[in-house]
Amino acid sequence: MSTYPEPDDHTAIVDAGGDTWIRCDDMPGRYGSWWPMTDGPHWGERARSGIGQARPWDQVEEYGPFEPADEERTARAYARVLWEWEN
């Protein structure tokens, strides 16, 4: 049984480690539609603008608890996924 209800498409959340995840059903990765950003405080400066492998929700929810991301963080995450998708 799921611990957290899956948020809607184009919704960004921040996990317990401070990383942003965004759901992009229109730009799925190989394994799922949830893209992780490497923007949390535990990442080094060089890695902080990166993006990880998209995953399904059942793997993402292991990183909770979550907080909603603000509009700026959501827009930044979406732009990063879009860049990854197009390049």
pLDDT tens-digit readout, 13-50: 999 999 999 999 999 999 999 999 988 888 877 777 78
The residues spanned by each domain of the chain are 12-86
pLDDT of residue 2: 60
Residue 81 has pLDDT above 60, yes or no: yes
Give the global pTM. Answer: 0.90
Residue 1 has pLDDT above 50, yes or no: no
Candidates 29, 32, 41, 85; CA nearest to 62 is 32
Distance CA 35, CA 54 (A): 4
Q: In the chain, pLDDT over 90 holds for what percent of residues?
A: 76
